[in-house]
Structure 1
Amino acid sequence: LSDEEIIVNLQGDEIGVPASLIHQLANGLHNHPDYSIATLCERIDNDIDINDPNIVKVVFDQNNTALYFSRATIPHLRESQKEGQEDDQAQQGNYYKHLGLYAYRVGYLKKFTATPACDLERSESLEQLRALYTGEKIYIEEACAPAGIGIDTEEDLQKARQQFQT
């Protein structure tokens, strides 16, 4: 494969990913030649998910460049610390869940796999932080369709089993 070809990586714990998201992801990277990585996100609309460390949150700039990924609640709403406002974070801010889908240019993927993990990656257990740490830009778009099911916990696995049995 040439260094400019695009590889889409679907993580094994993301099941039922529609083809439209795979196309969106590959096209997003193809249409942005100044990026070597692309990924997708979706808006979080409830406080349970915002505060769940198993759900990776992402913040990005006006150019759709990822700024940071975290298992913590980001962005942190300082004003939500006021009495009576703790339970409506989803209504007060823009929260996005990172989806476990990536597109890479082959040349960068070779470089990435040869780069050792950094402290940020180890502390959050998020490999995309290695790319940010080394100065790589990650292009991100809001998913054009629901992403399917991410299985991060035993509870998620039970929900997935129930959905596929119906």
Structure 2
Amino acid sequence: MSTLLLIPARMASTRLPGKPLADIAGAPMIVHVARRAAESDLGRVVVATDTKAVAEAVRAHGFEAVMTRADHQSGSDRIFEALTTLDPAGQVETIVNVQGDLPTVEPAVIKAALKPFEEAVVDIATLGVEIIDEDEKTNPNVVKIVGSPLSPTRLKALYFTRATAPWGDGPLYHHIGLYAYRRAALERFVALKQSPLETRERLEQLRALEAGMRIDAEIVRSVPLGVDTPQDLERARQILSN
């Protein structure tokens, strides 16, 4: 499959303003994400941003950037605009959306997001990890996948929730918000209106499930560090400085 890795980046973070350009070990955070994406060897890597300074920083470090509108409601809308700009002829078959605040994500984890596409019926692929920390099981900031096991390392997603679910004995899975889309699935997804459960849970992926789209999740071993706060940024600096 022809694969395009897109990294949406915006400066308007409320908890950590300007975070794409935050310095980590001598390079902006967004550049570290681009490096990890390139190391996955899946395909072309492009940062999609609405900020000229981000595009300039990315290009200064040898990576591609594409400018997008500033009024997008979500990262998926931004990557769809980038896709249509970069590939108007429709040659790209698969799009991987790598969040721009994952500077320490392992290339193998990015690569794992494509594994569910071994099944032709899968529209969207994503990642999960088994929850070990008891506090995370009840933390609404930790999104859980409720899914039907297909193998020891794969779930067919039935629901995503901030609640503690499913009930009863057995593992719980933390959803990692890194997605791969078949092109037709991304086109369909961004054309859909917000759904009731998406609005209630504040989870965009529920829009796809409510529309009958198939999402499978590959289970990996660790959650990549998402940089949302100054404390997260300091942790990323410690990791990448070593």
- Please, what TM-score do these two structures have when normalized by structure 2? 0.56
Partner of residue 159, structure 2? 68
Q: CA deviation at 1:76?
A: 2.6
Deviations 1:74-120 (A, max 9, x none): 1134xxxxxxxxxxxxxx53110000110000111011001001010
- Percent identity between matched residues is 38
* Contact 1:40–1:140, Cα closer than 8 Å, also in 2: yes
1:75 aligned partner, one-letter code: P
Instruction: Give distance in 2, aligned partners of 1:76 and 1:121.
Output: 21
Matches within 5 A, 1:18-37: 18-29=106-117, 31-37=118-124
Shift of the 142–54 alpha-carbon distance from structure 1 to 2, 3 Å rule, reads same
Q: How does 1:147-162 map to 2 (within 5 A)?
A: 147-152=223-228, 154=229, 157-162=230-235
| Separation (CA, whole Å) in 2 of partners of 1:104 and 1:66 | 15
Q: Where in structure 2 are there 5+ consecutive unaligned residues? A: 1-86
SS of 2:114's partner is: helix
* Aligned positions of 1:1-166 closer than 5 A: 2=90, 5-29=93-117, 31-63=118-150, 64-77=155-168, 92-143=169-220, 145-152=221-228, 154=229, 157-165=230-238
Worse-superposed segment, 56-65 or 126-135: 56-65
CA 1:105–1:6: 2 relative to 1, 3 Å: same
Q: Give unmatched runs, 5+ long, in structure 1.
A: 78-91
CA contact (8 A) 1:13 1:151 kept: yes
Number of positions where the alignment pairs a residue of Structure 1 with one of Structure 2? 147
1:3: Cα distance to partner? 7.7
**Distance in 1 separating the partners of 2:173 and 2:226:** 15
SS in 2 for 1:65: strand
> Contact conserved, 1:58 with 1:68, CA < 8 A, in 2?
yes
Q: Which residue of structure 1 lines up, in the alignment, with residue 83 of structure 2?
A: none
Instruction: Output the aligned Cα RMSD.
Output: 1.9
Indicate the structure whose relative CO is greater, using CA pairs within 8 Å and at least 6 residues apart: 1
8 Å contact kept, 2:225–2:236: no
Equivalent position SS for 1:150: coil
* Equivalent pair of 2:227/2:236 in contact (CA under 8 Å): no
Match of 1:80 in 2: none
Residue pair 1:4, 1:107 contacting (<8 A) in 2 also? no
The CA deviation at 1:17 is 1.3
